[in-house]
Structures are given as structure tokens and as C-alpha cells.
Amino acid sequence: PPVTSRSSSMRKNADDHVSPSELSPGLLDLHSFDTELLPEMSFTRAPVLGKSFDDSEPYMSTSKLTNRIRGVPENSLLKSFSGDKERANNVAKIKVVVRKRPLNKKEIAKKEEDIITIQPHSNYLTVHETKLKVDLTEYVERHEFVFDAVLNEDVTNEEVYSETVEPIVPLIFHRTKATCFAYGQTGSGKTYTMQPLPLKASHDILRLMHQMHRSQGFQLYVSFFEIYGGKVFDLLNDRKKLCMREDGKQQVCIVGLQEYRVSNVDTIRELIEKGNATRSTGTTGANEESSRSHAILQLAIKRSADGSDSKLARLVGKLSFIDLAGSERGADTTDNDKQTRMEGAEINKSLLALKECIRALDNDQGHIPFRGSKLTEVLRDSFVGDSRTVMISCISPSSGSCEHTINTLRYADRVKSLSKGNISKR
């Protein structure tokens, strides 16, 4: 029979006393875990299985689930707007969500197994890693994680949107800068997850502009660019290479970046499609270039006193969508090819810097280490002031991706380590 061993970083003894600040990021031993330390966790458990739930729907999507738990009706956009200052404070500064994709045909053909289990109605996830003992017998090591939300393979893009971006949209009319990242190895579903989000968000933004903010002079702008090998390319202008400059007020701007003012969803759709087509390449292949670039789509809300399309329109808020380079590419630092090595080093640097910036944000540190990489420099203005960050970690379920999956989950976990500050804030 398979032996279940615990990972070394788990606490060994259920009686060990652990203060909240010691809660190690990553591997939580759920059995010895004191749920009182984490109100949110116990919260998601109790009311969930009440009578109001349809038992024929065993894998109720996490989004519906958490919305019900929090008492937020679905499609809550307009509702959440009334009393939004109060609500704004309720939208977590940082949210880390994991999305598992289904096994694909290739993996099934290779008889790879699904090694990820997600407890229904929970935000717990377990990776079952098969290992070999010294005598070459197999055993399974279980790695347990907990995140703000865990989305299984049945969850639709629509539900991903309502779990991640939808609650943030109203805030960007109030000076909030929000960023949504997709992190994960190549082929884990980052692009699949990210591509529909900006369009859905634009749809809601335009609706709010017309319904709630009519005649207040708000304007919506779209830009779309790519960072490849530490250089910036405009995806809405034939991949023109652009430079970054810092102005006197330490604002970083990308010189010459095309920004389109948009007022209907169809135009936005066309721009997004154009940008996607201009990206290094569209779909995932083993050595395909887009896996080594970060694609950044920004929706900016501006306002001008007279409602004109003038250069005087001032930035109000911003929503950025970032399809990050494949996380495994950061390890391309020993490749034979010099170019690939350098790109790998840049990716590694940017993913590390990103993590540090998000962590610094969460701890309300005055100093945010933007300068670590091109990616974080570009995002600098989104990390100051009232900001929100959503990270969607994409994982493949297959046994063949086990190592990458664990790396992705550990990264996600470090982004949101359970610091003392975090717990008291909840």
C-alpha cells in the first residue's frame, strides 16, 4: 500500500504550539491546523453545506460558493457599487487564486494521472506526488495548500471572472489601480484564462460609465504591449519597440505607446484580437516564443473636465491584465543558446521581483522594490496608492507536471504568506 509521508516543512506534531506569525507558508497540515487562526477558512466551511445548496451539484463552483458565503449576489457589479467606499475596503488587497485545467488528450494518451485533488466547497488543494524510496518502491507524498480560492477543472471563464476581476471593476473609478496576473508553466492555461478577462471587464466598465457615471467625463483607454527579453513592444502598433522613461515625478512612462480611446465593446474586441495576433505567437508549443514574454493589457479610466478627447485627460484608475512568461522559462539559465539563457535570466529576475513587490504591498512597506526588473518598473504606478492585486496561478493536473505544479503553488503561496499582519487584517 502507498505510504503517505508528510513534507518536511509541515509541522510534525499536532500539539506543537504555533503562533500565527510562525504559520509557515505553503504546506499546511490541515489536521493539526488551528482554524481559529484563520477566520476565513473556518468561515468557508460551516455555512457552505447548508440546505440551500443543491446536492445534485457536488462541485459547485467556488465563485458561486464564495459569493454566497459572503452574501454577495451573483452579478453583483451594480450592487457593489452603492456604498462602494465601504465595499472597496472589503475587496482584499491581494488575492491568490489557483485554477486547475483538465487533463488534455495528450496527457490522457500518455496515461498520465490527475494528481490534484480539490476538496469540494473548499479552498484546499492537495498534490499527490509519487516518489521512490531507496529500495525503489513507490510512495505518495501529499502536499497540501490553501488559497483564497481554488478553481477546479469544471469552472468556466465566466466564473473565473466573477471570482477575480468583477469585484474590482467598480473600484477603478475611485483611483484604484488593479493588476491581475496569470502565473504558471507553459501549457498550464494562462492565456486561456487571461484572454477573455479584459473584454468582460471592459463590458462592465462601459456599463458603469453609462449607468452610474453618466456625464462625469470618464473615458476608457486600451493599450497592449509585450515585454520580451527585457524590451517593450507595442502590440497595437506592429510590435514597435518602445523605450521607458521616468519623468521628474518618478512616473514611469512608455514613450510612444499607442493608447486607444474606446467606447464600445466591439472596438475593444478588435483591438484585443489584433494585439493577440501580434504577440510572438498565439498558441502554446514547446519552444514557442510567447512563453518567454509577458503580455500586458491595460484598461485606463481617464477624466477630462470638459469631456473632450484632449491630452489633458487625467488618469483616474487602471486595470492591468498580465499573461506572464512561462514560469519554467526562468530556469532556462543553463541553456546552450546564449539568447535563451539571457531571456531566462530576465524572466527569473522579473518573476522574483514581482513576488517581492506584491509582498511589499501587502505588508504596506513604504519601499517597493520596482527596480528589480523591466516588468516591475512598467507596473510601478500600479503598485503605489490604492492598489489591488489578483494572482491566478494556473496548474496542469498531470503527473508529468508535478514538479512544475509544486513550484507554481509554492510561488503563489509565498506571494501571500500568512504573515501576522495578514491575519489581523482579515
256 is in an annotated binding site: no
- When CB distances to Mg ion are compared, the closest residue is 191
Interaction residues for Mg ion, span 311-330 (CB under 5 A): none
Residue 185 is assigned to a ligand binding site = yes
What is the rounded CA–CA span in Å between residue 184 and residue 198? 19
End-to-end Cα distance, the chain = 42
How far apart (Å, rounded) are the C-alpha atoms in residues 59 and 154? 8
- Binding of Mg ion at residue 185 (CB under 5 A)? no
In the list 67, 191, 193, 405, the residue contacting Mg ion (rule: CB under 5 A) is 191
How far lies 224's CA from each of 14, 240, 259, 285, in Å?
Answer: 50, 12, 8, 22
188 is in an annotated binding site: yes
> How many residues sit close enough to Mg ion to count as binding (CB under 5 A)?
2
Told to check if 152 binds Mg ion by CB under 5 A, we report: no
Characterize the bridge pairing of strands 177-183 and 387-395: parallel
Measured from the CB atom, the residue of 81 and 181 that comes closer to ligand ADP is 181
Q: Does 101 bind ligand ADP (CB under 6 A)?
A: yes
The answer to whether 187 is a known ligand-binding residue is yes
- The single residue among 44, 179, 191, 398 that binds ligand ADP, judged by CB under 6 A, is 191
CB of 231 to ligand ADP, least distance (A): 21
> Annotation-wise, does 400 bind a ligand?
no
Which of these segments, 76-84, 113-121, 122-130, 190-198, binds ligand ADP (CB under 6 A)? Answer: 190-198
| Complex with ligand ADP: residue 186 or 298, whichever CB lies closer | 186
**Residue 113: alpha-carbon gap to chain centroid:** 26
Return the one option of ligand ADP, Mg ion, none that residue 370 interacts with (CB less than 5 to 8 A, by type): none
Q: Does 188 bind ligand ADP (CB under 6 A)?
A: yes
- Residue 387 binds Mg ion, judged by CB under 5 A: no
Q: Are 271 and 260 in contact (CB under 8 A)?
A: yes
Q: Does 184 bind ligand ADP (CB under 6 A)?
A: yes
What's the Cα-to-Cα distance from 319 to each of 26, 37, 84, 220, rounded to whole Å?
28, 33, 17, 11
| Nine cell digits for residue 310 | 484632449
- Residue 294: Cβ-neighbour burial (10 angstroms; 0-12, 13-18, 19+): buried
Binding flag, residue 183, ligand ADP (CB under 6 A): no
> Exactly one of 173, 192, 233, 321 binds ligand ADP (CB under 6 A); which one?
192
Q: Which of residues 272-291 bind ligand ADP (CB under 6 A)?
A: 283-284, 291
Q: Which is nearer to ligand ADP, 186 or 422 (by Cβ)? A: 186
Subset of residues 338 to 397 that bind ligand ADP, contact rule: CB under 6 A = 394
Three cell numbers, residue 293:
514574454
Cβ–Cβ < 8 Å for 168, 114: no
189 binds ligand ADP (CB under 6 A): yes
* Residue nearer to ligand ADP on the CB measure, 190 or 355: 190
Per DSSP, 148 falls in state: S
Q: Which CB contacts under 8 angstroms, 24+ apart, belong to 333-339? A: 339/229
Q: How far is the CB of 323 from Mg ion (least distance, A)?
A: 6
| Cβ-based burial of 97 (10 A; exposed 0-12, middle 13-18, buried ≥19) | buried
**Contact present, 62 and 163 (Cβ < 8 Å):** yes
Q: Which is nearer to Mg ion, 63 or 191 (CB)?
A: 191
Q: Which amino acid is at 130?
A: T
Whether 323 and 283 have beta carbons less than 8 Å apart is answered as no
Size of the site for ligand ADP (CB under 6 A): 15
Cell readout for 200 is 468582460
Task: Report the binding-site residues for ATP.
Answer: 184-191
The binding site for ligand ADP (CB under 6 A) comprises: 101-102, 104, 184, 186-192, 283-284, 291, 394
